Amino acid sequence: MDPANQQKQNEPEEPRFLDFPHLPDDATQDGKPRLNKYSSTLTKDHDFPGAQAMLYAAGVPDLQSMKNSPHVGVASVWWEGNPCNMHLLDLGKTVKDAIQKQGMLAWQYNTIGVSDAITMGGEGMRFSLQTREIIADSIETVTCAQHHDACITLPGCDKNMPGCIMAMARHNRPSLMIYGGTIAVGYSSILRKPINISTCYEASGAYIYNSLKQPDDGGDMTKTKDEIMLDIEQHACPGAGACGGMYTANTMATAIESMGLTLPGSSSTPATSPAKMRECIKAADAIKTCMEKDIKPRNLLNKRSFENALVMTMALGGSTNGVVHFLAMAATAGVDLTLDDMQRVSNKIPFIADLAPSGQYYMADLYEVGGVPSVQKLLIAAGLLDGDIPTITGKTLAENVASFPSLSQDQVIIRPLSNPIKSTGHLQILRGNLAPGGAVAKITGKEGVKFTGVARVFDKERELDLALNKGEIPHTPNMVLIVRYEGPKGGPGMPEQLKASAAIMGAKLTNIALVTDGRYSGASHGFIVGHVVPEAAVGGPIAVVQDGDVITISAETNELSMDVSDEDIKARMAMWKRPKRTVTRGVLAKYEALVGDASHGALTDAF
């Protein structure tokens, strides 16, 4: 075969979404670029009088606006029951007002969300990952059905951000994202220290194992463990905003900012700060720039920008969930991104951020010392981050951050590149006879780089949670807890398992490692491995691990294996039968039928 044809065969297929062939032939209007090229299908002449009647009723003020004003969708992932999302309706109203002051029409709508923190450890968590697809479906649907010319999205919680970006890649109209922002840091007067949502789950493990104590530095030592738990529960989340550490929400926001799809500073600006409101106002100027210069999402979603996303994730100690989301976003945009790219970037980027969950500080603290733009400046100057990528401002990433301060010498949140926490990234892609299709490990180096232990197998997360609640997981010897049938199909829904991982940390069970075909929360830390492919439900080797098998996890050799021969694995598989499906109707059944594996982003449209 001709080498050129071979190379073309190996390139990812250009995304093919619904085309809109009946756009106006003239590219300009009054000598300027036509900004209403999609909406004019409905608003020009009298081709769609019913549509125009509905638009007048919805608020179009006059004929001039009907014929000439572009339509911008303002899509918020708003709902009241979650602090990550509860303020997004008001942010969206600010955006809408600013757009209308630019002489454009703004249409505000919202899509659904699920609170990971509220559903964590329960059956509701099975609905979380699939919301990414519903969010993308919703925004694509409204944008295309209503002939919007541009789109501004306002996400807050974990799956929101990738869902919004996937939607943008699908409809590919001028778009930008406004991150809802991080929550303020909570504080416990009994523990005498800052706390956050992860503290709640770790305290749960300490509560069960009777190791929940307040410090002996003048605190009230008379408090019972129930009073301590109540204090944590009432003060961990002081208001609106996404969970405050380098968890999944902040991981995705910092990555997307580094890809050029938000205004500079969006990912580190606190949710309730005046600066966040100013960002919402500035977004109107930015979206108009995107429309005038025809800057579209798939112009920005390319291999270089995804490389930037991975660099920021490794440098800041981001969530394992970033892997499944980056793969999904890239596939949706037609960008060739694989697990091998994750490992390649991890091998070269130092881990430099002392941020929760493995560190002391929070995103609100990072904001005070310059925020994400200051970190970007550091990495651009070092040649680790590509400052020449284009962005939604019409400028390069380097130009966007040029006016931001450099990190001061006396700040302690971001370590010097010459003295990192770990010389390479914390995310490792593991393979072996336990995960031939790959697995994702989060190993910061604080817990070592290799773990060998005896397997104890649980067929569902709830079985492990029950054992932990009864105090049945001992402190010795080294043990690898296997949690299976929690993958995209087996869960169904690939739930996060922060309840178990945090309880183990809170109980100080340092002899424990966790391995699952499900996911772990961005707030998880310790020796954890998730996203095992193939998953148990489709007959992956994890389905035949037995109690007592010796499991090896190594970030040195990127290995995840069990001391079972190929012959024995084959014999066990011959005896294996897939468990009966737990869900046969409803949205999770549809998700199970459509979803692909985690090593390819757990997508539902990878046909």
pLDDT tens-digit profile of 416-469? 999 999 999 999 999 999 999 999 999 887 778 899 999 999 999 999 999 988
Q: Identify the domain boundary among 174, 200, 235.
A: 235
Same domain, 220 and 207: yes
Assess if residue 265 is contained within a domain. yes
Retrieve residue 492's tokens.
């169904």
Assess if residue 375 is contained within a domain. yes
Lowest mean pLDDT among 169-178, 400-409, 515-524: 515-524
- pLDDT tens per residue across span 442-452: 988 777 889 99
DSSP assignment of 341-376: HHHHHHHHS-B-B-BTTTSSB-HHHHHHTTHHHHHH
Same domain, 217 and 148: no
Same domain, 258 and 395: yes
Same domain, 478 and 394: no
- Cβ atoms of 515 and 553 within 8 Å: the answer is yes
Same domain, 84 and 171: yes
Assess if residue 443 is contained within a domain. yes
Give the chain's domain count: 3
- Within a 10 A sphere around the Cβ of 481, how many other Cβ atoms? 25
Instruction: CATH number of the domain at 547, please.
Output: 3.50.30.80
CA atoms of 61 and 46, how far apart (whole Å): 17
- What pLDDT does 526 receive? 76
CA atoms of 200 and 206, how far apart (whole Å): 10
User: What is the mean predicted confidence (pLDDT) over 93-108?
Assistant: 98
The set of residues, in sequence order, having a beta carbon less than 8 Å from that of 493 and lying 6+ positions away, is 125, 126, 127, 128, 129, 130, 588, 591
- What pLDDT does 471 receive? 86
- Cβ atoms of 201 and 502 within 8 Å: the answer is yes
- What pLDDT does 4 receive? 42
Please provide residue 185's backbone torsions phi and psi, each rounded to the nearest 5 degrees: -80, 130
pTM (global) more than 0.85:
yes
Angstrom CA distances, 359 to 270, 334, 413, stand at: 19, 35, 9
- pLDDT tens per residue across span 576-602: 999 999 899 999 999 999 999 999 999
Residue 566's nearest CA partner among 544, 533, 535, 548 is 544
Same domain, 204 and 316: no
Same domain, 122 and 249: yes
Retrieve residue 386's tokens.
């590509």
C-alpha 565 chain-centroid distance: 37
Count of alpha carbons within 13 angstroms of residue 459, beta-carbon side: 8
DSSP alpha helix (H) spans, 17-115: 40-43, 49-58, 63-68, 88-101
- What pLDDT does 522 receive? 72
Q: How confident is the model at residue 14 (pLDDT cuts 50, 70, 90)?
A: confident
Same domain, 248 and 209: no
- Cβ atoms of 129 and 494 within 8 Å: the answer is yes
User: What is the mean predicted confidence (pLDDT) over 134-148?
Assistant: 98
Same domain, 139 and 38: yes
- pLDDT tens per residue across span 64-78: 999 999 999 999 999
Checking DSSP bridges between strand 450-458 and strand 479-483, what pairing results, if any?
parallel
Retrieve residue 357's tokens.
């969950």
Assess if residue 436 is contained within a domain. yes
- Cβ atoms of 112 and 78 within 8 Å: the answer is no
Taking 60 as the threshold, does the pLDDT of residue 109 lie above it?
A: yes
- What pLDDT does 3 receive? 40
CA atoms of 76 and 74, how far apart (whole Å): 6
Assess if residue 117 is contained within a domain. yes
Same domain, 316 and 206: no
Same domain, 149 and 228: no
The set of residues, in sequence order, having a beta carbon less than 8 Å from that of 345 and lying 6+ positions away, is 307, 310, 311, 314, 425
The set of residues, in sequence order, having a beta carbon less than 8 Å from that of 525 and lying 6+ positions away, is 357, 358, 442, 444, 447, 501, 505
Burial of 30 from C-beta contacts in 10 A (0-12 / 13-18 / 19+):
exposed
Please provide residue 92's backbone torsions phi and psi, each rounded to the nearest 5 degrees: -65, -35
Catalytic residue list contains 521: yes
Query: Quick check: bond before 270 cis, omega within 30?
Result: no
Q: How confident is the model at residue 505 (pLDDT cuts 50, 70, 90)?
A: confident
Query: Quick check: bond before 477 cis, omega within 30?
Result: yes
Which residue in the list 374, 521, 524, 599 is annotated as catalytic?
Answer: 521
By residue range, what is the domain housing residue 279? 3-183+243-401
Taking 80 as the threshold, does the pLDDT of residue 247 lie above it?
A: yes
User: What is the mean predicted confidence (pLDDT) over 121-146?
Assistant: 97
- 506: helix, coil or strand? helix
Q: How confident is the model at residue 6 (pLDDT cuts 50, 70, 90)?
A: very low
Assess if residue 371 is contained within a domain. yes
User: What is the mean predicted confidence (pLDDT) over 205-234?
Assistant: 79
- Cβ atoms of 555 and 449 within 8 Å: the answer is yes
Provide the sign of the torsion angle of the four alpha carbons 305, 72, 601, 515, taken in this order.
positive
Chain mean pLDDT for the chain? 93
Retrieve residue 30's tokens.
């009054």
Q: How confident is the model at residue 31 (pLDDT cuts 50, 70, 90)?
A: low
Considering just the CA atoms, what is the radius of gyration of the chain in Å?
A: 25
* Beta pairing partners, 398: none
Angstrom CA distances, 416 to 178, 257, 378, 448, stand at: 29, 22, 9, 22
Same domain, 248 and 380: yes
Taking 50 as the threshold, does the pLDDT of residue 10 lie above it?
A: no
Assess if residue 194 is contained within a domain. yes
User: What is the mean predicted confidence (pLDDT) over 148-153?
Assistant: 98
Residue 178's nearest CA partner among 204, 157, 153, 197 is 153
User: What is the mean predicted confidence (pLDDT) over 375-402?
Assistant: 98
Assess if residue 416 is contained within a domain. no
Angstrom CA distances, 9 to 4, 97, 340, stand at: 9, 48, 19
